Amino acid sequence: MKTMSNIQKDVQQAIDQLVDSGAERGIQVAAYKRGELVVDAVAGIADPLTGRPVQADTPFYNFSIVKGAAATLAHMLVERGMFGYDTPLVELWPEFGAHGKQKVTVRQVLNHSAGVPAIPMTTTPEDLCDWDKMCASIADSEPWWEAGTKVGYHAYTFGYLVGEIVRRATGKPISQVLLEEVAGPLGVGDELYFGMPKSEQGRLATLEDAESEAGPMAEMPPDLPMFKAGPMSLMPTATLGNRADILGADIPAGGKTSARAIARMYAALLGEVDGIRLISADRLREATALSMSGTDAIFGMPTKWALGYAIGGLGTPNDSDTVFGVGGAGGSFACADTASGVTFAVTKNRLTSDFKAASQLSQLVTDALAKS
């Protein structure tokens, strides 16, 4: 049987090798098992210009993996009775009903079947940072399909949709709700963000595109509907992800986090972490059950969604319908397994087009913890 110290050592050796080989620049891996932090490993450089090393509390802009935090807030508010999964958005956000969208529900937003995956092709990075402008644009958009009839990844719109639901229900920006309800209580208020104050951005890892690639979308076919769902200039790249205005804005389709902070959030979904549990066991079952599946209408691949979390792991033999989480463009990943009680996260600053490193590390951690 492996001890926890041996698991930590094995993960450390693996990520040191990834950095030494040049495959990764800076990387964090964290895992919890039944509420206890069992892996917290870091390697490499956060900022090549200064040589600043990655620390355990270094936040990384991981793009979509923080969608999991946006979904978590929605579940917490449903549990408090502030709205229901089958509440039409127009009850909270009347303007959203334009062009026949009156029946779109919170559930359909969370399971990516709402039918509004697109932002205008004229959207600029500055527009992304303008909350009211983006929400008004999405509210006035025409649906691509009847809500609930197809599943398709709502890459940018998911964040604004969930964020505006949260704002209308609470009267607060989603960043404030994240701090007050999740990050603060879990003791990671300085590691888990949507919009990150400019005064804190010096602690971030600096993103870089993998040298052999044009960014994490490089290998995708040019005729994918995804490329009609927003301008190419807003695809996740290091240039976009290092902009101070993008980092500071609430764009809750993505966010900034350390591996241990997002792994801790998932651990507090599965059960108590230092006395904090974010949602009840009954709510967890409903939130993580299969809600929509099929061929993704935007990306064209098979997909399975619970309410705000993708179902399944990283293409490893341990893939299971008990695993739920969200991956991020560039190769970061965070998830939890309701069967094993394990949560896992990898964050990194070299943006690759695959999840190869995260998959290998996930397999290593899963196998080791199964023997511990």
Bridge-partner residues for 257, per DSSP? 60, 192
* Strands annotated E in 91-219: 192-193, 208-209
CA distances from 354 to 39, 121, 253 (A): 23, 26, 19
Place of tokens 């969200």: 326
Token reading at 236? 């996740």
Considering the candidates 64, 141, 353, 362, report the single residue annotated as catalytic: 64
* Strands annotated E in the chain: 26-33, 36-47, 52-53, 60-61, 192-193, 208-209, 256-257, 292-295, 302-305, 310-311, 323-328, 332-337, 342-348, 350-351
Catalytic residue status for 258? no
Amino acid at site 29? V
Q: What's phi and psi for 208, nearest 5 deg?
A: -145, 145
Residue 331: partners with Cβ closer than 8 Å, 6 or more residues away: 216, 346, 348, 350, 351, 352, 353, 354, 355, 356, 357, 358
Radius of gyration (C-alpha) of the chain in whole angstroms: 19
Question: Is residue 158 a contact partner of residue 115, using CB atoms and an 8 Å limit?
Answer: no
Question: Is residue 112 a contact partner of residue 292, using CB atoms and an 8 Å limit?
Answer: yes
Tell me whether residue 21 is exposed, middle or buried, using C-beta atoms within 10 angstroms of its C-beta: 0 to 12, 13 to 18, 19 or more.
Answer: exposed
Token reading at 283? 């709510």
Please state, in angstroms and rounded to a whole number, the distance separating the CA atoms of residues 174 and 251.
9
In order, the DSSP letters of 160-173 are HHHHHHHHHHHSS-
Tell me whether residue 136 is exposed, middle or buried, using C-beta atoms within 10 angstroms of its C-beta: 0 to 12, 13 to 18, 19 or more.
Answer: middle
Question: Is residue 140 a contact partner of residue 160, using CB atoms and an 8 Å limit?
Answer: no
Catalytic residues: 64
